[in-house]
A = this chain, B = another copy of it.
Amino acid sequence: MQYHYLKFRPGTWLGWLSVACILVTLLAQQLKAETAPVAAQKNAPLLVEKQVFSLPTFTTFGGKTIENVNVGWEAYGSLTPEKDNVVLITHYFSGTSHAAGKYHSDDAAPGYWDNIIGPGKAIDTDRFYVVSVDSLVNLNAYDEHVVTTGPASINPKTGQPYGLDFPVVTIRDFVNVQKALLESLGINKLHAVVGPSMGSMQAIEWASAYPSWVPRMVSVIGAGESDAWTTAALEHWAIPIRLDSHWNNGDYTQDNPPTQGLAAALMLITQDALTPTFFNQQGEQLGFKNLEQGPLESINHSHSIVGWLKQRALERSKKMDANHLLYLVRACQLFVAGHKQNLEQGLTDVKAKTLFIPAQSDLLLMPYLAQDAHKRLTDNGVTSHYLTLPGALGHLEGVVNASAHADAIREFLKSE
């Protein structure tokens, strides 16, 4: 492989602006929402509202019981009387169920995949009823638009936050909560399941665990499993939180959280999800020089690029919970399609047609992961397609620029 990350392409400024929007505005939503009816009118913003799904009791894949499970969800488009037009969108690690549309027409940014979900778009809400659900242990526990259940939730037995008494949950558990929600709506089959990154894990988990539900599966910047490399890489996100004395073995309150540890984790996540090209462009804008005076003067001063990274992380951390991050890391580390003993076994059950869309410059879930799942499925006789996202935004290409393969997604969803 050859990297040419130092070449700046003026044509990508718009892309970077959109990244900035996604990172700063969308992922750390600070907007006041007003409830508005679901609408699928063309030439008008898709207006959406958050709904809440509750389960009095839920048994995890690991065999533990959680009472009073609540998760938020959104839907775009209309369900047919036959209930046969459901596309489920499964979100990424730091994402939420806000995949498309706006809560209010004045919102600064729409949901993260708004450029592929909406009236007439690749995932066409004129045709499909598109559903998206906040995960358990969602990272954005303190976002007013997120409803989730996790370590920050009140344990009914103690009246205090669960902390580490919350059971380990898995990608299968995220899927099982989604399935319970869909069943509550009278749905018993999907048209397709589509997700980026951790959402791709949920998508392929659906296809493996509930093959009769899933005729089509789209994995964007995805993986069929967390291999040893990925499992170790994810651990580095958890470690700073555990080192922060405010973490206190998971026993903290929202008044005194492990902010420094959480911000450190977010700084690393941001770097892992991006590329030299992006950082060096950002450095140019900041006037980054290796030989900045501050960091030469004192070991306690940082370079401007580090300051930028930290400031963003601190800002984002305000709506996030550190324990939730630990549980998300664990869910991803434990992942193998179908939660079988290995990937080969997990993929045996998949009946869906599949479409894998890794990003060429991805340094987090590198393309070999999608390629491996694609090849194994093809070998199993499954119809599988494989397309690579171009661009230099790394993993983030799959969040901000999945529209580069909008036509392929549209055609895939039309296929029999």
Contact residues, A1-55 vs B (CB, 8 A): 1-6
Given contacts A5-B366, A291-B339, A327-B299, contact A305 B231 (CB under 8 A): yes
Residues of B within 8 A of A3 (CB): 1, 366-368, 371
Residue pair B295, A235 in contact (C-beta under 8 Å) = no
Size of interface on A: residues with Cβ below 8 Å to B: 78
A108 at the interface (CB under 8 A from B): no
When each residue 289-316 of chain A gets 1 if its CB lies under 8 Å from chain B and 0 otherwise, what string results? 1111001111110110110010000000
Contact residues, A302-334 vs B (CB, 8 A): 302-303, 305-306, 309, 326-327, 330, 333-334
A160 at the interface (CB under 8 A from B): no
CB distance from A356 to the nearest CB of B (A): 14
Q: Which of B240, B299, B336 sits near A239, CB closer than 8 Å?
A: B240
Q: Which of B228, B305, B327, B342 sits near A279, CB closer than 8 Å?
A: B228
Residues of B within 8 A of A279 (CB): 227-229, 232
Query: Once bound together, how far apart are the Cα atoms of A271 and B283, in whole Å?
Result: 25
Given contacts A297-B62, A368-B3, contact A335 B240 (CB under 8 A): no
Residues of B within 8 A of A309 (CB): 232, 235
Contact residues, A322-367 vs B (CB, 8 A): 326-327, 330, 333-336, 339-342, 360-361, 363, 366-367
List the B residue with the shortest CB-CB distance to A335: B290
Residues of B within 8 A of A243 (CB): 240, 243-244, 260-261, 264
Query: Once bound together, how far apart are the Cα atoms of A296 and B171, in whole Å?
Result: 12
Query: Once bound together, how far apart are the Cα atoms of A184 and B177, in whole Å?
Result: 73
Residues of B within 8 A of A333 (CB): 290, 295, 303
A74 at the interface (CB under 8 A from B): no
A142 at the interface (CB under 8 A from B): no
Given contacts A5-B366, A5-B368, A243-B261, contact A341 B289 (CB under 8 A): yes
CB distance from A322 to the nearest CB of B (A): 12
Query: Once bound together, how far apart are the Cα atoms of A300 and B289, in whole Å?
Result: 41
Q: Which of B164, B225, B336 sits near A299, CB closer than 8 Å?
A: B164
A280 at the interface (CB under 8 A from B): yes
Contact residues, A191-226 vs B (CB, 8 A): 225-226
Q: Can you give 6 contacting A-B residue pairs, CB < 8 Å?
A: A2-B368, A3-B366, A227-B290, A231-B290, A231-B303, A245-B245
Given contact pairs A168-B295, A235-B302, A363-B363, enumerate 6 new A-B contacts (beta carbons under 8 Å). A62-B296, A228-B280, A228-B288, A229-B279, A233-B271, A295-B330
Chain A residues close to B by CB (< 8 Å):
1-6, 61-62, 164, 166, 168, 170, 225-233, 235-236, 239-240, 243-245, 250, 260-261, 264, 267-268, 271, 275-276, 279-280, 282-284, 286, 288-292, 295-300, 302-303, 305-306, 309, 326-327, 330, 333-336, 339-342, 360-361, 363, 366-368, 371-372
Ranked 4 nearest A-B pairs via Cβ:
A228-B283, A1-B1, A3-B368, A229-B276
